[in-house]
Amino acid sequence: MPATVFDSSIFRDAFGSEGMRAVFSDEALVARYVEVEVALAKVQGALGLIPADAAAAIAKGADASKIDLGKLKTETDLVGYPIVGVVHQMQKQCGDAGRYLHWGATTQDIMDMATVLQVRAALDLVEADLRQIAIDLAKLADTHRGTVMAGRTHLQHALPTTFGLKAAVWLSMIDRHRQRLEQLRPRVLMGQFGGAAGTLASLKDKGLAVHDGLMTELKLETPCVPWHVARDGLAEAVAFLGLVTGTLGKIALDVMLLMQTEVGEAFEPFMPGRGSSSTMPQKRNPISAELIVAAARSVRQDVGLMLDSLAGADHERATGPWHLEWIALPRAFIATGGALHQAKFLAGGLIVDGARMRRNLDMTGGLIVAEAVMMALAEKIGRGPAHDCVYSACRKALEGGTMLLDELRREPKVTAVLDDAALQKLVDPAQYLGTADAMIDRVLAAHRAIG
């Protein structure tokens, strides 16, 4: 019976994704163990460390699909680690050749290598999802480059901006994560083979040849030295997931705030029944955004566990911190897969209400462009006097519930240097967008360069 949301038949697709769960399933993990053991035998057979015919028999006879997971659990509970149990079952599969399995290896070699193979597959899924989200955000940025809205600081109206620029900011973060992913692959996707204490002493003068050949066989990066207790690579992978889900959480928070009844400027894609309430028929809750935020907070805790493991790896073999990775790493990847799944749905069908954005812009009666008036007036009478003059007009508009334009028309210092046509242009939010359009172009150009 499932005990967590990641395995639950009810919640698993809310908090994870099918593809990521498959990467970290028991069956996939055991298949990776078997893959590494077979690769090791093939390399050692080619180097003459074990008989070539034994290596061939191992490659032919080993079958991960026939590993009995029940028996493996029983032996793992006894030993504390799964590799002894896997090797025992493989030996039976491979007959006499099975005595050459696991030659010169240690349990952590096989488990770490299998983990790296899982991480490689998982990062491929992350990469594909990030790319699709980036494509959708680029479309939003370009489509809505002219959709004017209130820029908000401290949750208050600040200056006009465009929804296109907001989407471009989101896109810039996603594209930086795509770059980070490519940069971290060589550091994370390193194989692991060091033997009992990292010296490969049991293989005598062929230790490094086996080591390097195994990396080539599995198409993994070749480290200079075993990393049994140097866990920075896997910690970096999960820290990267923390950055990714943190960005997705920021985007989701923005969407939730835009979906508030009082704001109503953007919405998650509509589906009948999506986000409905059991008692309030009018509700349209930000379900995907809420799940993304939950995932981001969950992954952030797993980043902490990975850093604990990194710092606690004592001497040449850690006494427990390694086990934290068994908990944190799969969970972080599955939660990230869930967040990415929800983000693809959100970004791919986000509903933007430009008309509501414009109405909200106008709700303060033109106060949102007070800076524009002040800067134009400053060119005529100086910044200090201009600030005081416009500040006074703003206070009168706020207190009287009037339009800023009307109050400006009553200020002799303003009308003496700015005619009515100039004032009407200055209080139009669409005329005070600065370099928003050029910035969108820059982000989109950078996005195209990444591909």
**For the chain, which domains are there?**
12-358 (1.20.200.10), 367-426 (1.10.40.30)
Q: Mean pLDDT throughout 327-347?
A: 97
Higher-confidence residue of 280 and 451: namely 451
Would the CA dihedral through 245, 250, 251, 255 be positive or negative? Answer: positive
Residue 283's pLDDT band (cuts 50, 70, 90): low
Are 95 and 103 in contact, with CB atoms under 8 Å apart?
no
Residue 350's pLDDT band (cuts 50, 70, 90): very high
What's the rounded Cα separation, in Å, for the pair 112 and 29? Answer: 11
Active-site hit among 9, 65, 154, 278: 154
Q: What is the pLDDT of residue 2?
A: 76
User: Does residue 129 have a pLDDT over 80?
Assistant: yes
Is 144 part of the annotated catalytic residue set?
no
Residue 402's pLDDT band (cuts 50, 70, 90): very high
Residue 320's pLDDT band (cuts 50, 70, 90): confident
Task: Give me the DSSP letters along 336-362.
Answer: HHHHHHHHHHHHHH-EE-HHHHHHHHG
Higher-confidence residue of 319 and 66: namely 66
User: Does residue 429 have a pLDDT over 70?
Assistant: yes
172-214 pLDDT, tens digit per residue, is 999 999 999 999 999 999 999 999 999 999 999 999 999 999 9
Residue 292's pLDDT band (cuts 50, 70, 90): very high
Helix (H, G, I), strand (E, B) or coil at 149: strand
Distant-in-sequence, close-in-space partners of 314: CB < 8 Å, separation ≥ 6: 229, 321
What's the rounded Cα separation, in Å, for the pair 316 and 226? Answer: 10
Percent pLDDT > 70 in the chain is 97
User: Does residue 142 have a pLDDT over 80?
Assistant: yes
Residue 279's pLDDT band (cuts 50, 70, 90): low
Is 277 part of the annotated catalytic residue set?
yes
Lowest mean pLDDT among 89-103, 230-244, 296-310, 385-399: 385-399
Q: What is the pLDDT of residue 281?
A: 57
Give the range with max mean pLDDT: 124-133, 275-284, 404-413. Answer: 124-133
Q: What is the pLDDT of residue 3?
A: 79
Active-site hit among 277, 278, 288, 392: 277
What's the rounded Cα separation, in Å, for the pair 27 and 50? Answer: 28
For residue 150, what is the enclosing H or E element?
strand 148-153
Residue 317's pLDDT band (cuts 50, 70, 90): confident
Are 64 and 31 in contact, with CB atoms under 8 Å apart?
yes
Radius of gyration of the chain (CA): 30
Q: What is the pLDDT of residue 274?
A: 63
Average pLDDT, the chain: 94
Higher-confidence residue of 109 and 408: namely 109
Measuring CA to CA, which residue among 175, 177, 171 is closest to residue 141?
171
Beta bridge partners of 267: 351
- Where does residue 445 rank: exposed (0-12), middle (13-18), buried (19+ CB within 10 A)? exposed
Distant-in-sequence, close-in-space partners of 385: CB < 8 Å, separation ≥ 6: 413
Q: What is the pLDDT of residue 330?
A: 97
Q: Mean pLDDT throughout 328-335?
A: 97
11-42 pLDDT, tens digit per residue, is 888 889 999 999 999 999 999 999 999 999 99
164-181 pLDDT, tens digit per residue, is 999 999 999 999 999 999
CA 194 vs CA 107, 225, 371: distances in Å:
10, 8, 65
